[in-house]
Structure 1
Amino acid sequence: MSVFEPKTVLTLLKTSTAVSPLEKNTFEKKWRVSVEKRVSTWNEARSHMNNPRPQFQLQWESEIVEYVQFLWEKTRTRSKKGEPSKLGVNVPLLGPRFLPPSYLHVQKRSGGGAIEPTMQYLKPLNIVHPFYYPQLGQCPRCGSDKDTAWEGWTSKGARELHGLFCEEAALGTQLRCNRCKESSKAKTRGDTASGMVAGIEGYCFATTSAMYWKGWEHWRIPHESRAQQVVSDLTYSTAAGGLPIFFYRCALTRDLFDLLIELWPSSTSAGLEECVRQLHLFKHKRRMLEYLEAVRARECQNDSKNSLGNYFNSGVTSGTCLQAFSAPDDTLGYSDKSVSRDTITEIESANYLKSLSAICASLDNTFKATNKATLTNKDGQKTKEIKGGILTVLNEGNEIISWRFCQMRTNAEIAELLLGLKHRHDVLGLPQPKMMVADNCCHIRGAVASAMPETEAKLDVWHFSARYVAAILNASKSPFRSAIAADISGAILKMHAEHGRPAEYWDRREQEQRLLAAFEKWAEKGVWSAAAQKVHQEQLKHVRKGCLERSDQHLRSDGSRVEGTHKGWNSLQRAQPSGIVMLTALGHDFVLRCNIRVAFSRRQMTPFVEFTHGSHHIQLSNHVAKLYNRLREKGTQLLPLLPELPDVDSGETFGLVASDNATTFGGLLIKEETLDAELAHNFEVHTDSFTGGTVDFATEASRSIMIEDWQIDPALLDQPAAQLPRTMTASNTNTLPAEVAPPSLIKRKAICISPNSDDKSNGGSATTKRPRTLGPASTKTLDGYFASGRLLTWHGEPPSTAAGEVASPFSPPTNDTHPKAASAQAGNNNPPITPNQRYTGINEAGQTRSQCLFSIATGIDPRSLTFQNSDEFYLFMNMRAEFKWLSYQMTSKRWVLATEEYNHRLVEKMGQSIIQKNPQALLRALGDIEPKLMNRIIKDEYTSKRNNETFWRHHCSVVPLVKEERGKKPRKAQTCSRCQTIMYPGPENSPLNHKRGYCADGVKQVSKSGEDLPPWPQPQGLFSEGRTFHPHAFLLAVQRVFMQGPGEMDLLETEAFAKLLASRTEIREDGAVLFQLFTNFVVDPSTPRERIVTHNDKQWLRINFLQQQQL
């Protein structure tokens, strides 16, 4: 084997037949003298060089050279016609790649020596010598092999060699060509005509020099020597790979060179460098672990009384105690110069994330990367269920401290993430973050306040300026873009961030004055569009509320830094096929690598990050540190402790996680984001690779906010603003001149019709109604929706129930913040649906890897959310035509009943094994098909792929979809962003039209204050006209849900109501159950005042029903 043990080899050679009896007495002495002389020569030759080499490495290499020289002298031919001699069977034949001995050799050899870390510092040595490679005897310049001779080893010793897992060394000999020597004396240059290789000068060449190998193709370089054996060593886990590859500035092992050749087309030089660096660090920690384990094993053997000498020199006594291990870059120790690549697991990423905290955090979503988070079914069809993008939170040091895939873009998912972050801070004993900076501060303020009451929601300056830039007339071509952006940001910032110093902000009064002046300055030049005044007034609201004011100026609090992570997210699997399984793994890997890189680049880093030396293998580093510290406690030496990774039990999960909001129906059909959220850091215009046109990401994102949230007519962005008096631009936010912001040409009415009589529940009946639900007879219905507390139990006999039903009454918990309940068992006249078949269940049979991962992580079977084949689609279309489904007429109760009927027909048609559908599947299908039908009606295009018009003409005519006005072109119908119904199905003032400003359940469409609105759809009577809350109806709904389950309300309304109740309910220490009232809704004046209490400066409604249950 190629492990070289100097003392063992010397003993074997001394007793072999290769050494005559007369030489045996002086053989060892001559060996020692020659070794020491060679080491001295190398030291003198390298004394002027900047990279000294440790003496133990030179000593070991000198022993190898002496051994190879011995073999060469015993086997080389003495004359040109002579035959080479043969070695005896008792002569060890090792090389050409020599590996250092391991601790196994020390432990198993009698008197092998002490356990020292220097054994792990030794680098493998590659010998490039004619003994192993006879074909190297050809001159690289003239090609002659007759006039060449070998003239000893290189005088300066071994050359450094970059390896895949660790640094190595290479040592060669010198080849002299007499023919080239004569040519040099005659001062003639070799050329192709005389048989000389151009570009090679001289006549003496070292086999480790780039000049020697210049004329060789890499595939011609010998891969294995004739005497070489493929050896696998436990310490290095690698086999001899043949001759290294030598360049002028560096040399590479063959395995590393082959790897770079294969990966070069698909990677960058910086990326490959980082990969190799990480592998080297991984090897360093592995060797450190092996040393510590060897020390522990020696202690267990209780051999400390034995006098052990040094392994390489028996005359030197060495101790047996624990010693400090060398750092990777210690030139006289481990002496490593590169690093490595490896797969980082999800566990490593999560453990490190849980150790991070924030004082000022930035929060944002990116959507482009999630386009690759697709689910693939067994037929290869792909679906996208991650519609909310990747939610990322950064701290003030640019480290990602939390992230997750969002199934829907809702505040509830933000609150879930922030609750985990708050719990992490509590476990670490740290206060809540002071600020949470985002591009939509008022939108997330409710989620931040519910999870972190002490944290302020702030707006970042970059997005603030971008909205003004988007309001410029012809923004993409305006020459004033940069100047306007500078003036707007200058109105907010007193001083920009530079040279590591954070930005300084004006106070809100100064910001308002400067912003008014900046807007008026450019208004006089006529650069604003007609929508700019509305934008300006909306932005002034942020300024006056203090959204751009900073309480702590020393913190890095500009949230635009989070935009930098979008490029990293979007680079995952760029231009490569992917899926949710691969993207999830890459996401964990990306977050860990990014955080370690950012943390290690700081001047002041945590002790643990400093100990890793930038390695991503934090689990290995942490294990090494713990083992070292345990061994240190047993010893008597005062060695410093190694830092360990904190174990933070915050209960958080990252990446693809289960969402309480997504598993309910409160967030059905959240509107998909059609615009990439990856914004450029500068206000630049980019070219669309498909259309060839220009795309300004910052402007488009800001326009989306203007149109969707501020309800600005898109046509105003292309119209010049009217010339206004100077006093108008500084007018109050509530008064807008008609000349500046004319109303939209289309009235923005909203909402769907009221439920028909057949959808209303019979609340006055004495007998409890048995609803037709899709839940199984013995499963919990509300347990998953009251997810914040424990399961409630009675402290006494339950009340009586109707015959045939089993009620589960509850009492509120005493320590939990929110209640949690399980529903009553509901009967059903339809054929029973087993748990494996119900639409909310998970059937793992036939699932792909991505579907199985999504099911396990989220609790939702993805196959129940989409149509899997044409039979399911055609059944849906036929039922749509039969029952004349329209989105604005489909109440939540109708959806449940429609889904049940659909599943019943589907089972009859395709059998019990079919995956039954979730109501979301039908809702999404109707939402997808209606715009397509509208397009066909407008374009008068009904031809199918089979060149037939019957199918599409039939389905385009069964229900009215397009508004047709005399003398006007048909146009698409607008949909409500909250309830997703068509807003204007009828003519003007028609009762079918959506109510202005609020949905059919009485809740307003948009919350301008940023407070979270109740999820759609709420039971009828709780809210009215978008401004009034009725506590009496609310308390009755609470009683019905807790006493009878979803008996008096349909399942969708029950789930939405349950989520509303769980999110705003608090249980005090005295047992009082309080529901936080909305600031955006006026309480019904008929409510008794004693029912409303003030707690923590907020208004709360007492729920005495829940309080009484614990008596």
Structure 2
Amino acid sequence: MSVFEPKTILTFLKTSTAVSPLEKNVFEKNWKASVKKRVSTWNVSRSHMNNPRPQFQLQWEAEVVEYVQFLWDKTRPSRSKKTEPNKLGFSVPLLGPRFVPPSDLHVQKRSGVGGAIEPTTQYLKPLNIVHPFYYPQLAQCPRCGSNQDTTWEGWTSKGARELHGLFCEEAALGTQLRCNHCKELSKAKTTNGAASGLVADTEGYCFATTSAMYWKGWEHWRIPRGLPIFFYRCGLTQDLFDLLVELRPSSTSAGLEEHVRQLHLFEHKRRMLEYLEAVRAHECQNDSKNTLGNYFNSASVTSGRHLQAFSEPDDPLGYGDKSISRDTITEVFIDFSTRTRQNESANYLKSLSAICASLDNTFKAANKATLTNKDGQKMKEIKGGILTVLNEGNEIISWRFCQTRANAEITELLLGLKHRHNVLGLPQPKMIIADNCCHIRGAVASAMPETEAKLDVWHFSARYVAAILNTSKSPFRSAIAADISGAILKKHAEHGRPAEYWDRGEQEQRLVVAFDKWAEKGVWSAAAQKVHQEQLKHVRKGCLERSDQHLRSDGSRIEGTHKGWNSLQRAQPSGITMLCALGHDFVLRRNVRVAYSRREMTPFVKFTHGSHHIHLSTHVAKLYNGLREKDGCTLLPLPELPDVDSGETFGLVMSDNAATFGGLLIKEETVDTDLAHDFEIYTDSLTGGTVDFASEASHSVMVNDWQIDPALLERPAAQPTQNCFAGTLRPSTDAVTVSSDILIVPPSPTKRKAPCISLDSDDESDSTNTVKRLRTLVSQPTGNVLVPPGSQQPVAETLDSYFSSRRITARDAKSCNKPNSTSSSASDPFSSGTSTTVSTSTAPTRMIHGSVAGVVRRVESSGQTRSQQLFSLATGIDSRSLTLQDSIEFYLFMDMRAEFKWLSYQMSSKRWVLATEEYNHRLAQKKGSSVVEKNPQALLRALGDIEPKLMNRIIKNEYTSKRNDESFWRRHCSVVSLVKEDRGKKPRKAQTCSRCQTIMYPGPENSPLNHKQGYCADGVKQVSKNSGEELPPWPQPQGVFSEGRTFHPHTFLLAVQRVYEYVFLQGPGEIDLLETEAFAKLLVSRTEVHDDGAVLFRLFTDFVVDPSTPRDCIIIRNDEQWLRINFLQQP
């Protein structure tokens, strides 16, 4: 930072040894002529015409440019000779690269202008020069990276760029760098149509050093210290940029905008005060001969003899202040995350490992992430929460946004973690602790067969506390929690020592004693007995047992990360782009803080001294070590962050399960306060209300999982007799009904690595055979290859991969070529797969490209907002295909609904496919061929959304639109009957099914139009009674399920054969897209292929099997019933 006084500098240079005696006479004249010419050039530039700047600012900046040009001319080496740059003598002042205008103090102290006081001096803005004289490292082409064939082509002709500063606005002026190599390549491209060697996506061959294009490939820490940060719309001083990066995670863009604006206003008032005090101190010395024009070498700057009005802050020709906006702050932080922080966070995560990991989802923060279309409509597509994994050292080692609640996304994350451990040469984690251990056990076993899934003690105890009668007011809360945890733990963790656990038999006995003790005192609610029985299942299966007592394996620490996640954008909505950027920043800052707070830390963390700018630390260490090796000195090397190529991505990632439905068990989220491990009641500092941690953490599991009536939590339990609970204590070997998703199976040492990711949520591993999921049948050359019965060549397709990458419509099915001959003798679905013959000699595997939009491999970004582009690129899904985006799409949907009289309870899946095909055809006619075609789910969702709104308008008799017209809503409310009208009764809103989204009772009693009681049109029940078992997705093929309680294997196997032959063998007939997708998801999620060639489908415990099924087709493994699918079995 240097104060630049034009006339003073000119006098110094004129008398210095750098100017020859022959030049001294014309030096000042040439200086002033050059300054005048430069100001004239800037005045006629387009940027100045659109955004005029004060003449006194241009004059002062031109003086600075002339000074820097003088330094450059005196020091730069000759272009023809590779010589060292010339050196300046001590008589030449060396100022810059940031030039500060003189203050009133400088003016007052100079002879001849001591009384020239006016506000113009306070209006001048600092100027930052981006020139090779100060930054020789800038002579590198941002396009090809060359620094050998580049030349500097002078100053930018448009003048200085405006910069946002911390206290005031500033300016920046740069030069132009020309790359001769890129120039030749550009000529070759023009001549030949293409040019090789262009390794960057940057266009052109001449770049201004103040343009965003020049700096786009630089990480922010690599930009020279003090040099501004440039973006497409604006530039920032480094002080302001560093402040925004440091404070944005704990604030909002709007909040920071206001803080910076207040600092600017504060500076404006201080400058105004300085001017007034200067006028008051020197009013007696005011002389008409003393002018600022003499001081600044300019006639455009004059001095008044009297007090003048001070400029308004936003006057462009005066003070000219315009502080940074919230949109710019958002753009700055996202750019920082994209160019720097995202890679920093990922590289640090890849260097971490775990012996005992903790896993959990948080939904509150993920619910803030929205996708916004061009009309400002917001959608929420991150429905699976934020999945986080911690190691025993409390560091986050992996995280991702989950698009669904399927266990398959957990498997994907764990497979990446497993590969990381293999790259690091470390064994797999011994345990993974979760609050829903039995639900994730299948996902853990699929990715890490040798890793155990365990339950953490805090959630276990919290469920008992939540079952206390009047739990928030009970004085026994702490005592009960202590007894419950004491039944599990032999010793609590203290003084750095991990906790010690009883074995499962001792845990069960102690838990029963503790429960009976408090039951005698009448503290339990009516729901407590059910809670107790469910908890005993966990104990008997060893979920609370620990195989290694020396590890920190409680797992409740992960609840503390929820506070950090939920603090991002607290009480503020957020686009998914910003929340993803904040997530990467949060993970890195937290990990470095946790690692640096430990007594024993890694050498690299110790070297960072707690700084989260780890790329800068790594670069410093590498540069130091390189110089150390070159010099051969005896200094110790600096630690570097290891580069682990595990192939993992974090945050918003592409998921193989993104197009599926179903998923994880949703649980309630704890509030944003510290964890209350003593189960007491605390006050929320944000809302002022009381928070019951045990109830918050356990309510969802007890109500949704265990199907406990919430009203039972408010009722006292029946007073037990002396021996009421005597039967509670049973040996673990007694017959206990255990759901399939919570079965514990010890890992098999003969299991091989699962090469692909399963879509299964809850399947357990086989203890005797190698198990592979259906999706891996043909995807790996070393695994079991699915060969069509009677065929010699394997078919390189899988059902789930087919339906996740292609969509089939009725039009496509009709237009596809049928095989010349397709025959099958598989009339009996229970027959062996070896006796089934299908001729495929003339039927190669076909690729069907449907007209219905689905998962995309290459997403076009035109017409998408920033959040939609990020979601599409990260997930491979065009979010616009899942919703109606604008008024044209909405009105077309409403017109077609009225034309075809769509009703949710009359729309079958086949009708939805045909309706979507017709809709896309009409939409293309309205909007052109570049339209984003809709998925049937888009129309299904739209109808499910509009019918309740229409019913509400009918009931309230409100038909007025925003245009104050009733014709639109009256027409669409009267197209079909949506509301029941009984004589003498008010119209009432119809009920809708939560599973199939149809109106349940549109007709009178016993009408065939009504929804079946307890089950949907496809025969599947509406709600599962078994909390650990997910229902099949809607809609399933007709006949597979009936009356909500019967499963028909014969129809199921025929459906397997029909779908397989149609998809892979070009079988005849058409296919129902929605039914086929839903059936494929069901098949993939519950099917396993064993090394003995058996293909088994795990049966539902909520459905009874059709009695006519041959008993030899059903086998029992691990206390579960499995149906043989002989058609898919290898011959």
**Per-residue deviation at 1:652?**
1.8
Partner Cα separation in structure 2 for residue 362 and residue 484 of structure 1: 25
Matched, 1:355 2:351: yes
8 Å CA contact 1:963–1:973 kept in 2: the answer is: no
1:921 maps to: 938
Matched, 1:1000 2:1018: yes
1:534 maps to: 530
Partner Cα separation in structure 2 for residue 698 and residue 624 of structure 1: 48
Q: What's the secondary structure of 1:605's corresponding residue?
A: coil
| 1:811 aligns with one of 794, 818, 823 | 794
Partner Cα separation in structure 1 for residue 522 and residue 940 of structure 2: 47
8 Å CA contact 2:807–2:851 kept in 1: the answer is: no
**Per-residue deviation at 1:972?**
7.3
2:920 maps to: 903
**Per-residue deviation at 1:1038?**
3.3
Letter paired with 2:878: D
2:1063 maps to: 1041
CA deviation map 1:549-591 (0-9, x unaligned):
2222221212221111111111223355631111111111111
Letter paired with 2:886: N
Matched, 1:681 2:639: no
**Number of residue equivalences:** 770
8 Å CA contact 1:1092–1:1102 kept in 2: the answer is: no
Identify which range, 719-728 or 846-855, moves more after superposition.
Answer: 719-728
| 1:857 aligns with one of 869, 874, 886 | 874
Partner Cα separation in structure 1 for residue 982 and residue 628 of structure 2: 85
**Per-residue deviation at 1:717?**
2.7
1:867 maps to: 884
**Per-residue deviation at 1:348?**
1.8
8 Å CA contact 1:792–1:819 kept in 2: the answer is: no
| 2:711 aligns with one of 703, 712, 715 | 715
**Per-residue deviation at 1:397?**
1.0
Using structure 2 for the length normalisation, give the TM-score.
Answer: 0.56
2:564 maps to: 568
Using structure 1 for the length normalisation, give the TM-score.
Answer: 0.57
The correspondence of residues 388-399 of structure 1 with structure 2, limited to 5 A, is 388-399=384-395
**Per-residue deviation at 1:1007?**
8.2
Letter paired with 1:471: A
**Per-residue deviation at 1:851?**
0.8
Identify which range, 708-717 or 887-896, moves more after superposition.
Answer: 887-896
8 Å CA contact 1:467–1:702 kept in 2: the answer is: yes
RMSD: 5.9
2:516 maps to: 520
8 Å CA contact 1:792–1:811 kept in 2: the answer is: no
Matched, 1:434 2:430: yes
Q: Which runs of 5+ in 1 are unaligned?
A: 4-11, 18-92, 95-106, 113-123, 125-129, 138-218, 224-231, 241-253, 273-340, 735-784, 802-807
C-alpha change, 1:351 and 1:1060, in structure 2 (3 Å) is farther
C-alpha change, 1:1023 and 1:1087, in structure 2 (3 Å) is farther
CA deviation map 1:351-386 (0-9, x unaligned):
221222212111111122123311111122222211
1:1052 maps to: 1074
The correspondence of residues 365-376 of structure 1 with structure 2, limited to 5 A, is 365-376=361-372
The correspondence of residues 407-418 of structure 1 with structure 2, limited to 5 A, is 407-418=403-414
Between structures 1 and 2, the one with greater helix share: 2
**Per-residue deviation at 1:493?**
2.3
The correspondence of residues 6-405 of structure 1 with structure 2, limited to 5 A, is 237-238=225-226, 344-405=340-401
8 Å CA contact 1:1077–1:1101 kept in 2: the answer is: no
Partner Cα separation in structure 1 for residue 600 and residue 455 of structure 2: 29
| 2:543 aligns with one of 541, 547, 552 | 547
**Per-residue deviation at 1:403?**
0.8
Partner Cα separation in structure 1 for residue 671 and residue 224 of structure 2: 46
2:329 maps to: none
**Per-residue deviation at 1:526?**
3.2
Larger gyration radius, structure 1 or structure 2: 1
Partner Cα separation in structure 2 for residue 1077 and residue 474 of structure 1: 42
Q: Which runs of 5+ in 2 are unaligned?
A: 4-11, 18-66, 69-82, 89-96, 98-102, 111-165, 171-209, 211-220, 229-236, 257-334, 731-773, 816-847
**Per-residue deviation at 1:849?**
0.8
Partner Cα separation in structure 1 for residue 983 and residue 363 of structure 2: 38
Matched, 1:828 2:811: yes
Q: What's the secondary structure of 2:1066's corresponding residue?
A: helix
8 Å CA contact 1:468–1:536 kept in 2: the answer is: yes
Letter paired with 1:1033: L
C-alpha change, 1:263 and 1:619, in structure 2 (3 Å) is closer
2:969 maps to: 951
1:727 maps to: 723
| 1:652 aligns with one of 645, 648, 673 | 648
**Per-residue deviation at 1:1103?**
5.4
Q: What's the secondary structure of 2:557's corresponding residue?
A: helix
1:423 maps to: 419
CA deviation map 1:225-266 (0-9, x unaligned):
xxxxxxx999973389xxxxxxxxxxxxx9979987999999
8 Å CA contact 2:806–2:850 kept in 1: the answer is: no
C-alpha change, 1:616 and 1:964, in structure 2 (3 Å) is farther
The correspondence of residues 960-979 of structure 1 with structure 2, limited to 5 A, is 973=991, 975-976=993-994
8 Å CA contact 2:359–2:434 kept in 1: the answer is: yes
Partner Cα separation in structure 2 for residue 990 and residue 358 of structure 1: 60
8 Å CA contact 1:998–1:1026 kept in 2: the answer is: no
CA deviation map 1:675-718 (0-9, x unaligned):
66767512465778999865546424522222222222233233
C-alpha change, 1:922 and 1:954, in structure 2 (3 Å) is closer
8 Å CA contact 1:438–1:559 kept in 2: the answer is: yes
Q: What's the secondary structure of 2:593's corresponding residue?
A: helix
1:445 maps to: 441
Partner Cα separation in structure 1 for residue 1002 and residue 712 of structure 2: 25
Letter paired with 1:828: R
2:459 maps to: 463
2:770 maps to: none
| 2:698 aligns with one of 691, 699, 702 | 702
**Sequence identity percentage:** 62
1:476 maps to: 472
8 Å CA contact 1:963–1:986 kept in 2: the answer is: no
Partner Cα separation in structure 2 for residue 993 and residue 731 of structure 1: 43
8 Å CA contact 2:468–2:524 kept in 1: the answer is: yes
C-alpha change, 1:660 and 1:238, in structure 2 (3 Å) is closer
Letter paired with 1:873: F
CA deviation map 1:1030-1056 (0-9, x unaligned):
574365243443213795542233334
Partner Cα separation in structure 2 for residue 711 and residue 389 of structure 1: 23
CA deviation map 1:944-995 (0-9, x unaligned):
5559598379649945678999999978747456x56677889999985557
**Per-residue deviation at 1:915?**
3.0
2:150 maps to: none
2:324 maps to: none
8 Å CA contact 1:457–1:547 kept in 2: the answer is: yes
Partner Cα separation in structure 2 for residue 258 and residue 829 of structure 1: 54
Q: What's the secondary structure of 2:864's corresponding residue?
A: coil
Q: What's the secondary structure of 1:368's corresponding residue?
A: coil
8 Å CA contact 2:580–2:652 kept in 1: the answer is: yes
C-alpha change, 1:1066 and 1:894, in structure 2 (3 Å) is same
CA deviation map 1:907-929 (0-9, x unaligned):
45555454332222233334444
CA deviation map 1:528-558 (0-9, x unaligned):
3322222222222222222222222221212
Partner Cα separation in structure 2 for residue 518 and residue 436 of structure 1: 27
The correspondence of residues 532-681 of structure 1 with structure 2, limited to 5 A, is 532-575=528-571, 578-629=574-625, 640-664=636-660, 666-667=661-662, 681=675
8 Å CA contact 1:563–1:679 kept in 2: the answer is: no
C-alpha change, 1:1019 and 1:563, in structure 2 (3 Å) is same
8 Å CA contact 2:809–2:1072 kept in 1: the answer is: no
2:492 maps to: 496
